[in-house]
Amino acid sequence: MSNELTIDQQVAILMRGTEFGDEQIKERMQAELRERLIESERTGRPLRVYAGFDPTATYLTLGHTVPMRKLRQFQELGHEVTFLIGSFTGLIGDPSDKTSARRQQTPEEVAANARTYTEQAFKILDPEKTIVRDNAEWLSKLTFADVIKLASHFTVQQFLARDNFSLRYEKGDPIWLHEFFYALMQGYDAVAQETDVQVGGTDQLFNLLAGRKLQEAMGQRPQVCLTLPILVGTDGHLRMGKSTGNFIGLTEPPEVKYGKTMSIPDSAMRNWFELLTRWTPERIDALLGAVERGEVHPMEAKKQLAWEIVSIFDGDEAADRAAAHFEQVHQRRELPDDMPTYALAGPANVVDILHGAGLVRSKSEARRLVQQGAVRLDGERVTAIEKVIAPGEGEVLQVGRRRFLRLVQDD
């Protein structure tokens, strides 16, 4: 594809949607990207491009797909793309978007989470053109002397100038030494891979620039940094994240993806349309302009957004089914026809039923949902986690607005 497009056209594609918060940095990165593309075309060597993803849970979210879509553009232009699993950096925890320290994961937790990442990533990336690596491959081999050498290239003042650290410093909140190491480790990822281009969120700019600094210190040409806006979560305010619960997971059923998308506030629609859909900017502006003028109802626009998101990850037929399910269950208030069943051989605790049927990921999540009033039995709210349901006592167990379970007697 790169041979069919001019350098100007390639630069326009790859810079589209990027955001740096600093016009000088943007101009510099665009100029350097152009230089790399010209050299790549002249020498025939594809650019080495990567983005890193720390395995903080067993599933990727729609937020992860924003940088992955940029990686896919590089693939389509003929460049070498690496999907980097941050097993080692995941042990530290990225402080970039945090106003308090992340809980450190155990090696066992990180390993369990990482196992599922690659398959999910291939919903966006071309599996035949994607290199998958793990940064434990090189970071675990660094000696203490190596880490000291890496740290010698940065000052404490540089780290404290970051918004999240400066706010915590002013408030007197703890800033742990290990949090400083994260940028060093991510910076070294660029060195180890001799990266040409790194892609990340706008909150990652400091870490990406740290990679440039370390590459330069070690005699390499500093990488081009491309940062993209942050996807807001389903609440419309905070960034999409697993810890805040405002996410849509790539492995969630199409009906759940569709329903959660329909729940976002109107104010979040432009952010989602621009970062998640295959639509052109002109088409997005036309639809949202019609919404602002009162010509299109926000719900209708949101239906198009929800259909598009499900279509991307699960296909057109799944998107059609999800749309029909939403209309049946949420607009006409009818029970879904295809709800799963769960056989009761005897009285069972509601928490055990929810977990055993797979409606929740853990019993702690089930207890939390009951305590929040999100669980109903035949339309009546279940108020106690000690609730025992006997065979024949209820027919439909509902969690939130989108998950249903038909209870049957085990003969």
Going residue by residue through the chain (411 aa), what tens digit of pLDDT does each one get? 445 899 999 999 999 989 998 899 999 999 999 999 999 999 999 999 999 988 776 678 999 999 999 999 999 999 999 999 988 887 776 555 444 444 556 666 666 666 778 888 898 999 999 999 999 999 999 999 999 999 999 988 888 877 678 888 888 888 888 888 888 999 999 999 999 999 999 988 999 999 999 999 999 999 999 999 999 999 988 888 877 788 898 988 899 899 999 999 999 999 999 999 999 889 999 999 999 999 999 999 999 999 999 999 999 999 999 998 888 876 666 667 677 888 887 788 889 888 888 888 888 888 988 888 888 887 778 888 888 887 766 678 888 877 888 887 765
Short-list 276, 251, 266, CA closest to 358: 251
User: Residue 93: what pLDDT?
Assistant: 61
Strands 197-201 and 224-228: parallel
Per-domain residue ranges for the chain?
2-228, 254-331, 341-409
In angstroms, what CA-CA distances link 193 with 47, 168, 278?
12, 33, 30
Q: How far apart are CA 43 and CA 373, in angstroms?
A: 62
User: Residue 97: what pLDDT?
Assistant: 47
The answer to whether 335 and 396 have CB atoms below 8 angstroms apart is: yes
Same fold, 2-228 and 341-409: no
Predicted TM-score (pTM) of the model is 0.74
CATH fold, domain 341-409, is 3.10.290
Q: Reduced to 3 states, what is the DSSP secondary structure of residue 330?
A: helix
Q: How far apart are CA 327 and CA 321, in angstroms?
A: 10
Q: How far apart are CA 51 and CA 265, in angstroms?
A: 29
pLDDT digits (tens, 9 = 90+) for 69-90: 999 999 999 999 999 998 888 7
Strands 375-377 and 380-381: antiparallel
Q: Reduced to 3 states, what is the DSSP secondary structure of residue 156?
A: helix
pLDDT digits (tens, 9 = 90+) for 137-190: 999 999 999 999 999 999 888 888 776 788 888 888 888 888 888 889 999 999
Check if CATH label 1.10.357.10 holds for domain 254-331. Answer: no
Return left, alpha or beta for 48; rule: phi > 0 is left, psi -120 to 50 is alpha, else beta: beta
Candidates 3.40.50.620, 3.40.50.300, 1.20.1630.10, 1.10.3720.10; CATH matching 2-228: 3.40.50.620
User: Residue 403: what pLDDT?
Assistant: 81
The interaxial angle of helices 298-314 and 269-276, nearest 10 deg, is 30
Q: How far apart are CA 290 and CA 288, in angstroms?
A: 5
The residues, ordered by sequence, that sit 6+ positions from 167 with a Cβ below 8 Å of its Cβ are 99
